Structure 1
Amino acid sequence: MRVLCLLLFSSFLLSCMGLNRRLTSNEKSDSIEIQGHKRTYIVHYPKKWDGSPIPMLVALHGRFGSGSSMILQTKLDLLSDSKGFIVVFPDGYKRSWADGRGNTPADENQINDVTFIELLVKRLIAEGSVNARKVFLVGHSNGGFMAQRLAVEKPELWKGVLSVAAQISVFTLKRKQTLKTNTVSVGIMAGTEDPLVPFSGGYVRDGGEILSVDDSILRWKEWNSCAETVTKKTESYKEDSVDLKIDFLRYESCADNTKVGLIQLNGLGHSWPGEKPMIPFIDQGKTTKVLDGSKLVWDFMESL
């Protein structure tokens, strides 16, 4: 009986993590050999696509996730079909990214995820399906910290970068201080009551010191030489008879036509907005069903 329960739990967990998902007819799975490792990824092409170069979004999963789980969690594949962009879902090393904070398997094994993502982007551009001037990056949690690192170290790859439930780590801040890199449009989407990645900064549960969300936005404002003029707005939603408010902040007058934006999810936690947590045994704070996190992500990208 104990073995049966374990098998059932394992099957449930694998399903939650996306390992049982099958590719659709407009998807492909591929890999890149780097550092002696086979690094895999899934490419989703929009259903109604004529083969001409179109925008591409690279989506990085969180810790313990995978490319497949990121598809199930975000439904970015469905948004890709309706909006007409390619979306790529890479797999991290042992379900993690080397974002520089030091405690993930990828960091501990000195995995070069910066080079992996760079090679992936350049390969897909070389295939002729991607508009090289409209390549975007989004990441959630560990993937969000990786997105911030890539924004600092490889800004020339991206039209825009957005992190969900992640901000600038002290590691990435120090990297920026040693590099003379280009400007890039950056956004952060964060819940004010995130129990795993504190909105006010400090230390993350899985390791590493981070800046606050507000400080992270101000850093990008400085790095992009933005004017003081800021646009603010608030949107309100009703959920279970409770008011849910989202604050939007945007610096739009920045060098090289870049922008810096904040999507502040008041009272919400760590989960991707609109979807159930993919890791049911970890408390990720308050969730919501009335928001579409993926739409918020693409709205930011389309505005750049």
Structure 2
Amino acid sequence: MRTLSAIAFLCLTLSCMGLTRKLSPNEKQDVLEIQNNKRTYMVHYPKKWDGSPVPLLVALHGRFGSGSSMIKQTKLDLLSDSKGFVVVFPDGFKRSWADGRGNTPADQNKINDVVFIESIVKRLIAEGSVNSKEIFLVGHSNGGFMAQRLAVEKPELWKGVVSVAAQLSVSTLKRKLSLKTKPVSIGIIAGTEDPLVPYSGGYVRDGGEILSVDDSIQRWKEWNSCGDVVTKKSKSFKEDEAEIKLDFFRYESCAENTKVGLIQLNGLGHSWPGETPMIPFINQGKTTKVISGSELVWDFMESL
């Protein structure tokens, strides 16, 4: 009886976290074998797609998540249908990514997630479904740190990269200093009151030292040889009689037509904007229902 209760609780928990999900007719589950591990990912094709090459967005979930939970969390599948891009949701190793900071299961098992993500992109290009010149990447939290690592190590893959609730880690900074790589457009979306990934930098709970958001933007500005002119704007939203203000900063005079941008979520925490937190037992700070993180991400990508 206890065993049945435990199984029922596990199924309920996985369902609530979005780790289980049925495929729709315009989706497929696929597998790659990397380092003797079967790595899985889900591809969502836009509903009205005519089969011609379209942009691709790779979306990396956070720690304890999955490709399925990233779909539920972001609703990027619905945005894909309305905007006409393919979106792929990979599954991390033991619900984690080897972002280089050292403490995730993927890092501890020396998983090569750089090769995994690159292999997915190359497979989709080879099948003819996506435009190789319009490949984008976004990640949240652990997935955001992984996105920063991929931007540093494989910039030639991406037209644009956005990390949400994650900035540069010291490990990725050190890796960048040892590489000579091309510029790549970068955006960071960060809550100023994030209790898990401090906006001002320092150490995060799951290990590793990180730069502040401002220092991360400054590094990318230098690496992309951007000019000092920055475009600034703000936008306010009303929620429960309170005001939420977003500040946008953009460096647009950069090498090879790249851009560096910051969307500062004043007073908000770690959650993907617009989502219900997937992990209820961890304090992620203030959330919002009136801002769509997915629309913020795609607006940045479309501007490139």
TM-score scaled by length of structure 1: 0.98
What SS does structure 2 have at the residue aligned with 1:221?
helix
What SS does structure 2 have at the residue aligned with 1:244?
strand
Deviation at 1:116, TM superposition (A): 0.7
Unaligned runs of 5+ in 1: none
Q: Is the 8 A contact 1:202 1:210 kept in 2?
A: yes
Pair 1:295 & 2:303 matched: no
Query: Partners in 1 of 2:13 and 2:270 — Cα distance?
Result: 19
Deviation at 1:16, TM superposition (A): 2.2
Instruction: Name 2:206's counterpart in structure 1.
Output: 206
Instruction: Name 2:283's counterpart in structure 1.
Output: 283
What SS does structure 2 have at the residue aligned with 1:145?
helix
Q: Which runs of structure 2 are paired with 1:115-194 in the superposition (5 Å)?
A: 115-194=115-194
Q: Is the 8 A contact 1:46 1:86 kept in 2?
A: yes
* Paired letter, 2:57: L
Pair 1:246 & 2:234 matched: no
**What is the CA deviation profile of residues 144-197 of structure 1, one whole-angstrom value per residue up to 9, with x for unaligned ones?**
000000000000000000000000000000000000001000000000000000
Query: Partners in 1 of 2:274 and 2:7 — Cα distance?
Result: 29
Q: Is the 8 A contact 2:19 2:67 kept in 1?
A: no
**What is the CA deviation profile of residues 246-299 of structure 1, one whole-angstrom value per residue up to 9, with x for unaligned ones?**
000000000000000000000000000001011111110000000001000000
Aligned length: 304
TM-score scaled by length of structure 2: 0.98
Instruction: Name 1:257's counterpart in structure 2.
Output: 257
What SS does structure 2 have at the residue aligned with 1:42?
strand
Instruction: Name 2:220's counterpart in structure 1.
Output: 220
Of stretches 227-236 and 15-24 in structure 1, the one that deviates more from structure 2 is 15-24
Query: Partners in 2 of 1:16 and 1:179 — Cα distance?
Result: 42
Q: Is the 8 A contact 2:196 2:284 kept in 1?
A: yes
What SS does structure 2 have at the residue aligned with 1:151?
helix
Instruction: Name 1:68's counterpart in structure 2.
Output: 68
Q: Is the 8 A contact 2:268 2:285 kept in 1?
A: yes
Query: Partners in 1 of 2:292 and 2:10 — Cα distance?
Result: 29
Instruction: Name 1:27's counterpart in structure 2.
Output: 27
What SS does structure 1 have at the residue aligned with 2:143?
helix
Let me know the Cα RMSD of the aligned residues: 1.0
What SS does structure 2 have at the residue aligned with 1:276?
coil
Deviation at 1:10, TM superposition (A): 1.7
Q: Is the 8 A contact 2:19 2:65 kept in 1?
A: no
